[in-house]
Structure 1
Amino acid sequence: MGGKLADVGFLGFDVFGTVVDWRAGVARAAAPFLEHHGLRLDPFDFANAWRALYQPAMEKVRSGQRPWVRLDVLQRENLEQLLAAHGVAAGDIPEAELADLTRAWERLDPWPDAVEGLARLKRRFAIAPISNGHIAGMLQLARFGGLPWDAILGAEVSRTYKPQPATYLQPLDAAGFAPAQAAMVAAHNADLRAARALGMRTVFVRRPHEYGPDQDTDLRAEEDWDVVAESLTEVADILGCL
Structure 2
Amino acid sequence: MTVKALIFDVFGTCVDWRTSVAREVAAVLPGVDATAFAVAWRAEYDPAMARIREGGRGYVALDELHLENLHRVAARFGVTAPDSLNAAWERLDPWPDVVAGLTALKRSRIVAPCSNGSIALMTRLARHAGLPWDCILGADIARDYKPKPQVYLAACAALRLAPAEVMMVAAHNDDLFAARAAGLATGFVPRPAEHGPGQTLDLAPEAGWDVIARDFSDLAARLPA
TM over 0.5, yes or no? yes
TM bin (shorter chain): over 0.9
Is it true that 1:53 corresponds to 2:44 in the alignment?
A: yes
Q: How does 1:207-222 map to 2 (within 5 A)?
A: 207-222=191-206
- Further displaced range: 130-139 or 41-50: 41-50
Structure 1 residue aligned with 2:3: 8
User: Which amino acid letter does the alignment assign opposite residue 155 of structure 2?
Assistant: P
Residues of 2 paired with 1:224 and 1:111: CA distance? 24
Residues of 2 paired with 1:174 and 1:237: CA distance? 27
Residues of 1 paired with 2:182 and 2:121: CA distance? 26
4+ long deviations beyond 2 Å: none
Pick one of 76, 81, 89 that aligns with 2:72: 81
Residues of 2 paired with 1:71 and 1:32: CA distance? 23
Structure 2 residue aligned with 1:235: 219
Residues of 1 paired with 2:185 and 2:76: CA distance? 41
Structure 1 residue aligned with 2:23: 28
Is it true that 1:171 corresponds to 2:166 in the alignment?
A: no
Q: How does 1:115-130 map to 2 (within 5 A)?
A: 115-130=99-114
Residues of 2 paired with 1:227 and 1:140: CA distance? 29
Q: Secondary structure at the match of 2:93?
A: coil
User: Which amino acid letter does the alignment assign opposite residue 111 of structure 1?
Assistant: W
Kindly tell me: are residues 86 and 42 of structure 1, through their superposed partners in 2, closer, same or farther at Cα, counting changes over 3 Å? Answer: closer
Structure 1 residue aligned with 2:170: 186
Is it true that 1:203 corresponds to 2:194 in the alignment?
A: no
Structure 2 residue aligned with 1:160: 144
Which of 1 and 2 has greater Rg? 1
Structure 2 residue aligned with 1:18: 13
Residues of 2 paired with 1:57 and 1:127: CA distance? 28
Residues of 2 paired with 1:125 and 1:49: CA distance? 37
Is it true that 1:105 corresponds to 2:79 in the alignment?
A: no
Q: Secondary structure at the match of 2:131?
A: coil
Is it true that 1:70 corresponds to 2:70 in the alignment?
A: no
Deviation at 1:42?
2.1
TM-score (norm: length of structure 2):
0.97
Deviation at 1:240?
4.2
Query: What number of residue pairs does the alignment pair up?
Result: 225
Deviation at 1:9?
0.2
% of aligned pairs identical?
53
- Further displaced range: 226-235 or 109-118: 226-235
Q: Pairwise CA RMSD of aligned residues?
A: 1.1
Deviation at 1:67?
1.0
Deviation at 1:41?
3.1
TM-score (norm: length of structure 1):
0.90
Deviation at 1:57?
0.3
Pick one of 21, 33, 37 that aligns with 1:42: 33
